[in-house]
Amino acid sequence: MSQKQNVLLIVVDQWRGDTLGVLGHPCIRTPHLDALCADGVTFRRHFTQAAPCGPGRASLLTGLYMMNHRVVQNSVPMDARHTNLALEMRKGGYEPALVGYTTTTPDPRVTPPRDPRFRILGSLMRGWHPVGSWEPEKAAYFNWLRTKGFHVPERPEDIWLPLESRSPGATTSASRIPKELSDTAWATECALSYLEGMAHRPWFLHLGYYRPHPPFIAPAPYNAFYDPAEVPAPVRAASPEIEAQQHPLLAHYLQSLKQSQFFRDGQGLGSTMSEAEVRRMRTAYYGMISEVDDHLGRVIGHLKETGQYDNTLIVFTCDHGEQLGDHHLLGKAGYFDESFHIPLVIRNPSPEAAGSRGRIVDQCTETIDVMPTILTWLGAEVPRACDGRSLLPFLYGEAPADWRTEVHYEFDFRTSFGSARENILNLQVDQCGLAVIQNTRYKYVHFDALPPLFFDLEADPGEFHNRACDPAYAPRVLEYAQKMLSWRLHYADRTLTGYSASPEGLLDRRFGKVALVTG
């Protein structure tokens, strides 16, 4: 692994994959990200493997599908036997620094039961050196505010209440926190402070931004960056009742997701929001994105000013998406693209990559590809268990002939489904799972113990019409069910399946040949 190269991994939270200007979003204004896209490669059909944060980040940072790492929900422990990007970077002499969070719970089999990490939503994944930790409970950020002389209320999260008094819920009002003290500004300050101290040493930084995660409210002037009339209207059925007819899981979310989960003062169900309320919510969401973009400009500007831009691999991505009122839903839940389609932009500083700058890749890529891409760029070995593939060929203008033709993702609703799991659908806890396989034409959703879904994306891009029981689609449904079975068979955990015993000792068969393991 070269000691002359830096890596900046930028991970935002809940940023939809369609919200990129280079991909044709009708109103988003992100000049700094647009410039990165023009100087790098943008992946149009990039998907996370799981939601919410914990499962999505587990796949991003281990390179594993959820069926292998099994962090199926926030607060579910991470198996200690799994390696991760930070641990692999340490093998090459890097100390992986982190601003933000990984939403990881430690393995209880190797962690004392009274460990305080079991009393919070998430702690840091093994191997990371925190230089700006968001967890637990955003304490470092709120303490930073206090050092700046800002009065933190008894309920610290109340800083994200609207500055103006008005009816509760979606608003175009600014938040009570000024822009120079926002959590986005804090994360940037942590990153710049770290980078100042690393100017003459190779470094690896995971820069996490909490936004555009809820609460959906932006500080001034970002709250007024967008007019509700200019933002896209939600893609949804005529009513929540019509939407709910598609599937029992969707019906449950429409009847249970509350606005209070997305606005500090929210009232009522998210599915009851009018189009005007959704548009106001979207102005806040896009405003937070523009705020993050301004701070990305600060960080990238620092790299250019210090001469580090041209020896730093920059990866911009996300943990999962956001429904944002589409299908009458808020948050990240279920099986719609809005929750799983995420951005990925990679800027390779190598002169050999100059011909690919500004390229948009249409092939199907997945969040599990990020870890092997970074390791391969640094010349490091990719762990045998890693399910992803390096994206480096795309960064050099190539397109591997054997690249995947579908994307795959999973969702587990054991906790988010709450009491409805037992009282409404009569499901056991381990039956609360779904898996998706899709390409540009078809999408198949398989449930453990609920009816499947099948969408013809060419005829029905909004995913309103389930064709799983349509006789005309029966051959296609069978074809995609078989594709999913083949996928699961191929990617079953293979941590040790490349090895075998022999009269000569332990053999390594991972590279298509028999090689004696000597150490």
The sign of the CA dihedral 271, 276, 277, 279 is positive
Q: Residue 376: phi, psi to the nearest 5?
A: -65, -40
Distance (Å, whole) CA 124 – CA 106: 9
Distance (Å, whole) CA 311 – CA 303: 9
CB 100 within 8 A of CB 194: no
- Kindly tell me the number of DSSP H helices and DSSP E strands found in the chain: 14, 15
Helices (H), 381-462: 392-395, 420-423
Distance (Å, whole) CA 413 – CA 213: 20
37 catalytic, yes or no? no
CB 95 within 8 A of CB 435: no
**Sheet with 433-438: strands ordered across:** 407-412, 433-438, 442-447, 453-456
Give the distance, in angstroms, between the CA of residue 464 and the centroid of all CA atoms in the same chain. Answer: 25
- What angle do the packed helices 370-377 and 53-62 form, to 10 degrees? 30
Distance (Å, whole) CA 211 – CA 294: 13
Distance (Å, whole) CA 212 – CA 323: 12
| Residue-wise DSSP of 180-213 | GGSHHHHHHHHHHHHHHTTTTS--EEEEE--TTP
Distance (Å, whole) CA 41 – CA 192: 25
3-state secondary structure of 250: helix
At a CB cut-off of 8 Å and minimum separation 6, what does 423 contact?
A: none
Shortest CA distance to 218 belongs to which of 277, 280, 305, 153? 280
Q: Which of 53, 318, 364, 432 is catalytic?
A: 53
The sign of the CA dihedral 184, 190, 193, 194 is negative
- For the stretch 103-107, contacts whose Cβ atoms lie closer than 8 Å and that sit 24 or more positions apart, written own/partner, are 103/53, 103/54, 103/57, 103/74, 103/135, 104/54, 104/57, 104/58, 104/71, 104/78, 105/54, 105/71, 105/75, 105/76, 105/77, 105/78, 106/77, 106/78, 106/80, 107/77, 107/78, 107/79, 107/80
Cα-only R_g, the chain: 23
Distance (Å, whole) CA 96 – CA 85: 9
Residue that has been written with the tokens 């891409």 in this structure: 373
At a CB cut-off of 8 Å and minimum separation 6, what does 310 contact?
A: 349
Residues involved in catalysis = 53
